[in-house]
Amino acid sequence: MDHNDKTDAEIVQGALEKLRDKSPLGKFVKLAIRSADPTIPETTLMHVGFKENLGNTLALADFLWTQALNYALTRKRREQIRARLEGAPPGDISAIAAPVNAARDAFIDFHKDYPSRASEVGEVLAYCIAVNELGAAQVAAKMSLKTSGNMPVHGLDGIHAKVEGGALYVFFLESKLSQSANAGVNDYAESVAGFGSNLKQYLLEYSIVRDLGNLDSLTGAERDLALACFDVMDNPDSVERRERSVGVILYREGLFGKLSPVQPRQPVGFHEGEFAAAYAAQLVHHQQATLKHLTAKNVDINKCHVYFVAVPDVDELREQFYMRMGYKPEVKK
C-alpha cells in the first residue's frame, strides 16, 4: 500500500512509529496497580524493583543514565551516531564517546545554571514512561534545547505523540521529585495549571516541535503531514489532535522501611510482593489526592494521567544518577 491509499492519520501514525524508541523500563520499575475505568483521573502506581528486601535504586539510576542519551539527544543526532558506528572499522567504537560527552555536558550545564530546577532523573524517567507505558514517540528533545543559550528553561519536561483510533494524541510531560506523594502531585497540579493558562508558552512548545523537534528526521509526505499536525494555528481537519497531560511523581515512600525482616529461605520475590500489595492498597488515596489538587487548580481531570513512582529515597536516587553520569554537584555551604 502506498501513501495514496492511506488516510492522513495512518501516514502520521507510520511516521511516529518510526520515531518511537524502545525502553526496557519494566526491568527496573515495576507496576503495582492501575486505576480502573471509568474512575478519574487516571492514576498508576509504580515502584523501583527490589534487590531482596531493598529497593534497587542503584540499578535504576544506572538504567536512567543510559536512557538519558536517547532523551537528551535529537533523533537526527542519534541517527548520525548510528551511521558512524556502522561505518567504522571493525572494533572501533570511538564514535560513541562524543554523544556520551554531549549528553553529560547538557545535564551538567543545566544543573550548574539552574540547580533549583534540576530534576533530570525525573525527566528521563518520564521519557521512559511515555515510551514504555504510553507507546508514544518523543517529538522534541527538550534537554538539548534547554541548554541552548536562546531557549527558555521553563516549560514542559517532554513532548510525545502517537496516533490511536484515528486521532493524534499529544502528551505533555511534567515530572516532579518530592518527599511525599501528596506534595508531588500538588506541585504537578500547579505546573499543569500554569501551563494551561500560558498561551505564549503553549504556542512556543508547538513551535519547538515544528522547528527544532525530531520530526525533522522524517522525509517526504510523512514529514510534511506530521509537521502540519503540530501547527496549532492551521491544523488539518483530517487528523484530530487530542492533548493530554502526563504527570510523573517520583517520590519517597515510607513503606520501604516497614517490610518484614529477612528470614532464611524466604521465597524469591517475597519482599517485593509484600511491598507491592501494601502499595497497591494506597491507590484510592493517591487518586483522591490527585483529584483534589487538580480540581483545586481547575484542571480538566479527564485529560490527565498521573504516574506515582515510589523509591526509598529520592535524594539518594538523584545522587546515584549523578554518580553514574560521572558528576558530583558542589554542595553549597
- What digits encode the pLDDT tens for the residues 123-168? 999 999 999 999 999 998 887 666 555 555 557 899 999 999 999 9
- Could you tell me if residue 332 is inside a domain? no
pLDDT score at 332: 57
Check pLDDT > 70 for residue 237. no
CA distances from 199 to 103, 155, 193 (A): 30, 12, 12
Phi then psi dihedrals of residue 252, to 5 deg:
-85, 125
Mean pLDDT within 229-234: 85
Q: Which three cell numbers stand for residue 310?
A: 515510589
Give the separation between CA 286 and CA 67, rounded to whole angstroms: 28
pLDDT in tens, 49-77: 999 999 999 999 999 999 999 998 889 88
- Provide the percentage of residues in the chain whose pLDDT is more than 90: 67
- Provide the percentage of residues in the chain whose pLDDT is more than 70: 92
Phi then psi dihedrals of residue 309, to 5 deg:
-120, 110
Q: Which three cell numbers stand for residue 280?
A: 497497591
- Could you tell me if residue 149 is inside a domain? yes
Contacts 24+ apart (CB under 8 A), 295-303: 296/189, 297/189, 297/190, 297/192, 297/193, 298/193, 299/189, 299/192, 299/193, 299/196, 299/245, 301/40, 301/41, 302/40, 302/41, 303/243, 303/244, 303/245
Check pLDDT > 60 for residue 2. no
- Could you tell me if residue 312 is inside a domain? yes
User: Could you give the number of structural domains in the chain?
Assistant: 1
- Could you tell me if residue 154 is inside a domain? yes
152: how many CB neighbours lie within 10 A of its CB?
11
pLDDT score at 159: 95
Mean pLDDT within 160-178: 96
Q: Which three cell numbers stand for residue 239?
A: 487528523
- Could you tell me if residue 333 is inside a domain? no
- Could you tell me if residue 304 is inside a domain? yes
Check pLDDT > 90 for residue 333. no
Residue 177 near residue 250 (C-beta atoms within 8 A): yes
Give the separation between CA 14 and CA 18, rounded to whole angstroms: 6
- In sequence order, what E strands does 129-213 have? 137-140, 158-164, 167-178
- Could you tell me if residue 330 is inside a domain? no
Q: Which three cell numbers stand for residue 306?
A: 498521573
Residue numbers of the domain that contains 174: 3-325
Mean pLDDT estimate for the chain = 90
- Our measurement of the distance from residue 249's CA atom to the centroid of its chain's CA atoms, rounded to an integer in Å, reads 11
pLDDT score at 1: 42
pTM listed for this prediction: 0.93
